[in-house]
């Protein structure tokens, strides 16, 4: 019985230290602010770049964008929406301008931004005017930067 008790205590101590090791790795995560709980958002990704210089060179012609650094790669997003139809519309808009873009789905737990997106999505749903689409896209990206990234 004593033999099993000692083995159990050693396994418990090792498990504790391993869990602390894994949890510490995610405390200072600087990636895009998303979680597994919240609303689904469609981020329209323009590209992935290996350096900030490369990103800046390749985004000069873009009117507005936000980016995320993950694993030393720069992920550039040119649109955000909660509706799949609007995500498709944004991708089509960029394709008509000569840019390639893809849709990435993330979970974002940010009530204020979620409420703002609902209003922008309604406007985006009813318009096909390229100028209006561009305006809504820019406003959403600006709000994302203000509310989610900068937290103001």
CATH number of the domain within which 71 lies: 3.30.70.1070
pLDDT bin (cut points 50, 70, 90) of residue 1 is low
Does 144 reside within a domain?
yes
Q: What is the pLDDT of residues 48-106, one digit of tens each?
A: 999 999 999 999 999 899 999 989 999 999 999 999 999 999 999 999 999 999 999 99
pTM of the model: 0.72
For residue 30, give every residue at least 6 positions away whose Cβ sits within 8 Å of its Cβ, in sequence order, or none: 69
Torsion of CA 49, 51, 57, 62, to 10 degrees: 50
Does 13 reside within a domain?
no
Which H or E element spans position 19?
helix 2-25
Residue 26, pLDDT > 70, answer no
- pLDDT at residue 13 in the model: 76
Does 137 reside within a domain?
yes
Does 21 reside within a domain?
no
Does 49 reside within a domain?
yes
Residue 125, pLDDT > 60, answer yes
Tally of structural domains, the chain: 1
- pLDDT at residue 149 in the model: 83
Place of tokens 């990234």: 149
Expressed as residue numbers, the domain containing 57 is: 39-149
| Cα 133 from Cα 126, distance rounded (Å) | 10
- pLDDT at residue 139 in the model: 93
Does 7 reside within a domain?
no
Does 139 reside within a domain?
yes
Does 9 reside within a domain?
no
* Neighbour count for residue 137 (Cβ, 10 Å): 25
Instruction: Name the E strands within the chain.
Output: 39-49, 66-70, 73-81, 102-108
Report the share of the chain in percent with pLDDT over 90: 57
């Amino acid at each position: 019985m004593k033999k099993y008790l000692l083995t159990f205590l050693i396994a418990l101590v090792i498990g504790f230290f391993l869990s602390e090791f894994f949890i510490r790795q995610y405390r200072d995560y600087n990636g895009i602010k998303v979680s597994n709980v919240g609303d689904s958002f469609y981020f329209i990704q323009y590209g992935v770049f290996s350096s900030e210089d490369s990103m800046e060179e390749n985004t000069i012609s873009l009117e507005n964008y936000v980016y995320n650094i993950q694993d030393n790669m720069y992920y550039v997003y040119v649109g955000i929406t909660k509706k799949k139809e609007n995500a498709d519309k944004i991708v089509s808009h960029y394709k008509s301008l000569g840019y390639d873009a893809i849709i990435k789905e993330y979970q974002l737990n940010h009530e204020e931004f979620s409420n703002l997106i609902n209003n922008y999505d309604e406007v985006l749903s009813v318009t096909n005017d390229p100028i209006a689409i561009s305006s809504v896209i820019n406003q959403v990206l600006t709000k994302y930067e203000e509310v989610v990234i900068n937290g103001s």
